[in-house]
Amino acid sequence: MGFKVTYLRVDSLGRVNLQDLEKAITRNTILISIMFANNEVGTIQPIEQIGNIARKYNIIFHTDAVQAIGNTRIDVRRLKIDSLSLSSHKFYGPKGVGALYVREGIAFYRQNDGGHQERDKRSGTENTAGIVGTGKAIEMATENLNEYCNHLNNLSEFYLREVNRRIPNIKINGDLSNKVPGNNNICFAGIDGNRLVNELDRRGICVSSGSACSSGLINPSHVLLAMGINENLAKRKFKSKFWKRKYN
């Protein structure tokens, strides 16, 4: 649509650099959009600081909080978030429904044309069952949020400790001191990702070699590559020759 987009790098833990962000701002910048928490490695971004920068330059701040909602408490006022997107099924609500929060006073133009439902913000007949399900799911998710997070954090801690103790040549990814609970991303050196998924599945353990959005892809995760993890370690699939040589 003729807009110029600047993409920011992330560091080895997957965090954007606030100085980079500030430097990237020009007098034409109208929007900053930064993921709240990453879906592959769980890293939570410095959202409050980003919100402060956006407010300082009077730029609208949007965050994709799909991975964070139901996993952390989010106060859009305190964090100076102008707009936030969420998806219901990530907190055990129904699939195919989500929400966009837009702060009062932020100009908003509908994405699709047609009817004038939802005060002209989104045309099309509302998915009532989905909307009600989303409301109920978020209610339930927030009710027990602290217990839920503590539980997941304890499980994660145990899991990572044991994996670390039992399996050589692994790399645990993401910002362990600041990530969504229950998200664990590990590189296992020299093991075919698909094979690992299948072997674990047979033992009743569900894992994934990538995000569902890229299922079927065998190239390394762009998230891991952006974090500077070397291509071999980030790879989901090794050439079968390599696998045979090493493990058969």
Ligand X SMILES: *Cc1c(COP(=O)(O)O)cnc(C)c1O
Q: To the nearest whole angstrom, how small is the minimum distance from the Cβ of residue 179 to ligand X?
A: 13
67 lines the binding site for ligand X (CB under 6 A): yes
**Selection from 186, 195, 177, 190 nearest residue 224 by Cα:** 186
Q: Which of residues 88-127 bind ligand X (CB under 6 A)?
A: 90, 98
Q: Which region, judged by CB under 6 A, interacts with ligand X, from 60-68, 109-117, 151-159, 168-176?
A: 60-68
User: Angle CA(118)–CA(87)–CA(222) in degrees, nearest 5?
Assistant: 130
Alpha-carbon gap, residue 69 to 88, rounded angstroms: 9
CB 67 within 8 A of CB 98: no
Q: Which of 10, 16, 21, 39 binds ligand X (CB under 6 A)?
A: 39
134 counts as binding ligand X under rule CB under 6 A: no
Cβ at position 38, least distance to ligand X in Å: 7
Binding residue for ligand X, selected from 15, 16, 50, 64, defined by CB under 6 A: 64
Shortest Å, Cβ 35 to ligand X = 6
66 contributes a contact to ligand X by CB under 6 A: yes
Report, in Å, the least distance between residue 87 CB and ligand X. 3
Angle between helices 128-143 and 145-166 (to 10 degrees): 70
38's tokens: 């990453």
- Interacting stretch for ligand X, rule CB under 6 A, among 14-22, 63-71, 117-125, 157-165? 63-71
Is position 74 an interface residue for ligand X (rule: CB under 6 A)? Answer: no
Which tokens hold the place of 113? 């044309």
Nearest Cα to 101, choosing from 80, 123, 122, 85?
A: 85
CA torsion, ordered 41, 163, 92, 223, to nearest 10 deg: 20
Near ligand X in 19-38, by CB under 6 A: 35
Q: Known catalytic residue: 213?
A: yes
Interface with ligand X, residue 221, by CB under 6 A: no
Nearer to ligand X, 34 or 102 (CB): 34
Phi-psi group of 151: left, alpha or beta (phi > 0 → left; psi -120 to 50 → alpha; rest → beta): alpha
* Among the listed residues 145, 33, 149, 138, the one whose alpha carbon sits nearest the alpha carbon of residue 87: 138
Interacting residues toward ligand X by CB under 6 A: 35, 39, 64, 66-67, 87, 90, 98
For the annotated catalytic residues, the residue numbers are 213
